Amino acid sequence: DTAVSQTPKYLVTQMGNDKSIKCEQNLGHDTMYWYKQDSKKFLKIMFSYNNKELIINETVPNRFSPKSPDKAHLNLHINSLELGDSAVYFCASSQESANRELFFGEGSRLTVL
């Protein structure tokens, strides 16, 4: 049973296209996140949602739009993809109210050509 699952695992697309990455967690957590891991393997927070509400939005271009239909799902939509968007995107979740550990998905490797 996968706790945090994201799809697709690999995504190769052309510049200018629009794409989405989906994330679901079955841990009953109240908070979900999107992190970006660049080519140097550095992990940086992009967004955080708590009970479907956006609570953190780091300096991310507005081409990136997260959507949370319910607290078990947090999807990431990216418009007008650019070469610099190529990275591995990780979804994660935690029970924020209990200050508990963070659980990650397997990552979605996006390559923009």
Q: Which residues of this chain interact with other proteins, rule CB under 8 A?
A: 4, 31, 33, 40-45, 48, 50, 55-56, 90, 92, 96, 99-107, 109
Residue 65 exposure: Cα atoms within 13 Å on the Cβ side: 9
Considering the complex, state which of residue 42 and residue 113 has its C-beta at the smaller distance from other proteins. 42
Considering the complex, state which of residue 48 and residue 75 has its C-beta at the smaller distance from other proteins. 48
Q: Which candidate, 36, 74, 82, places its Cα nearest to that of 52?
A: 74
CA distance 14 to 81: 7
Question: How do beta strands 43-50 and 53-57 pair?
Answer: antiparallel
Least Cβ distance, residue 80 to other proteins (angstroms): 26
Cβ contact 68:52 at 8 Å: yes
Least Cβ distance, residue 2 to other proteins (angstroms): 10
Considering the complex, state which of residue 15 and residue 56 has its C-beta at the smaller distance from other proteins. 56
Least Cβ distance, residue 16 to other proteins (angstroms): 27
Considering the complex, state which of residue 1 and residue 101 has its C-beta at the smaller distance from other proteins. 101
Q: Which candidate, 36, 22, 50, places its Cα nearest to that of 86?
A: 36
